[in-house]
Amino acid sequence: MEQRVVGSHTVRRIVESEGPFAPVGFILPGADAARIEAAAHWLRPGHVSEDQQLVMSFQSYVLDTGRQRILVDACVGNDKERPLRPGWHRQLFGWLEALRAAGLQPQDIDVVCCTHLHADHVGWNTCLRNGRWVPTFPRARYVFARREYAHWEAEHRAALAQERPAPNHGSFADSVLPVMDAGQAVLVDDGHELDTGVWLEPAPGHTPGTVMLHARSGAGHAVFSGDILHSPVQLLDPGWNSRFCEDPVQAAATRRRLVESVADTDTLLLPAHFAGSVGGRVVGDGPAWRWDAR
């Protein structure tokens, strides 16, 4: 099932890659192996492999409100120079083919919304054409949270001035700035509404300007939560940060607030890296929670 209905909206999932990614203890350094083992009946094999790798998806979602098609997060992308991350370096993923298989062409996308500006969320913002990075979606306006943009712009400029390696593997330069230069970027403030009942909420911690995207339609409610959670494993303890969370205290607080707000409700949660389904629901499980992808 690669599509869900939320009120009068639909959500489709566009997968770039999916499978065992790295050891659980590497991505989630604080995670307790014994508690993961005790939850193996629902975590394995879909989210934790037999050899203790975290199963992750790199995926985008397309929210179709009937008025606009909003692409949420843009994966790693093709042809990017990522020498320090071999799995992302000069890749030729079939993501555009997956988009077409979902019935969509790049020109069908009205809005691109990046929950944050890490390299695995901005890649398809641009593609390489005649040696230049150009926006992949010719008609789209690209929505970036102003706080997030300002943070990475400052990091980018500081790295240039000090001749340090560029932040985020250089993705600000090849996947964000070209969109700005093309005049297709819109920097937005807290609470920005993209469409009726579709708005951004600040969710800092993983990065300073991370946002989540809410979509309400009729009785339906969906939350696109980016990397606030990387894996259903974190439902065992929302205090378990990923190694990529910039502010651990704030990231854990944001994660717990999100989990508590959606648990045991009909809210469809759509994290950027949960494998195997177009989101799912968080349900209480004793003192913690578990993932229900039905």
- Report the distance separating Cα 96 and Cα 264, nearest Å: 35
CB closer to Zn ion, 57 vs 217: 57
Least distance (Å) between residue 118 CB and Zn ion: 5
Asked if residue 138 has a cis previous peptide bond (ω within 30° of 0), the answer is no
What's the closest the beta carbon of residue 76 comes to Zn ion, in angstroms? 9
DSSP state of 117: -
- Least distance in angstroms from the C-beta of 75 to Zn ion: 9
Three-state SS for 211?
Answer: strand
Q: Which segment (3-11, 77-85, 120-128, 152-160) binds Zn ion by CB under 5 A?
A: 120-128
Site for Zn ion in 33-92 (CB under 5 A): none
Q: Which is nearer to Zn ion, 16 or 120 (CB)?
A: 120
Strand partners, 134: 127
Q: Which is nearer to Zn ion, 155 or 285 (CB)?
A: 155
By the 8 A CB rule, do 53 and 24 touch? yes
Q: How many residues bind Zn ion (CB under 5 A)?
A: 2
Q: How far is the CB of 245 from Zn ion (least distance, A)?
A: 11
User: In this structure, are residues 54 and 71 in contact, taking their beta carbons and an 8 Å threshold?
Assistant: no
> Rounded to whole angstroms, how far apart are CA atoms 12 and 3?
4
Nearer residue to Zn ion within complex by CB, 27 or 70: 27
Q: With CB under 5 A as the contact rule, which of the stretches 9-17, 91-99, 117-125, 144-152 interacts with Zn ion?
A: 117-125
Shorter beta-carbon distance to Zn ion: residue 64 or 120: 120
- Sole window of 2-10, 77-85, 113-121, 187-195 interacting with Zn ion (rule: CB under 5 A): 113-121
The pattern of x and - marking residues 216 through 255 that bind Zn ion according to CB under 5 A reads -----------x----------------------------
Residue 209 CB: number of other CB atoms within 10 A? 21
Q: Is the dihedral of CA 69, 259, 88, 126 positive or negative?
A: positive
Q: Reduced to 3 states, what is the DSSP secondary structure of residue 46?
A: coil
Which residues are registered as beta bridge partners of 118?
none
Of the candidate spans 34-42, 83-91, 118-126, 181-189, the one that interacts with Zn ion by CB under 5 A turns out to be 118-126
Closest C-alpha to 137, from 81, 209, 59, 62: 62
Instruction: Please report whether residue 148 would count as binding Zn ion according to CB under 5 A.
Output: no
CB contact at 8 A, 51 and 20: yes
- The count of C-alpha atoms lying within 13 angstroms of the C-alpha of 206, restricted to the half-sphere facing its C-beta, is 25
Contacting range for Zn ion; rule: CB under 5 A; set: 119-127, 166-174, 196-204, 277-285: 119-127
- Report if residue 110 touches Zn ion, rule: CB under 5 A: no
Comparing CB distances to Zn ion, the nearer of 120 and 237 is 120
d(CA 43, CA 134): 40
Q: How far is the CB of 4 from Zn ion (least distance, A)?
A: 21
120 lies in the binding site for Zn ion (CB under 5 A): yes
Give the residue with the Cβ less far from Zn ion, 62 or 65: 62
Contact 108, 69 (CB under 8 A): yes
Which parts of this chain interact with Zn ion (CB under 5 A)?
120, 227
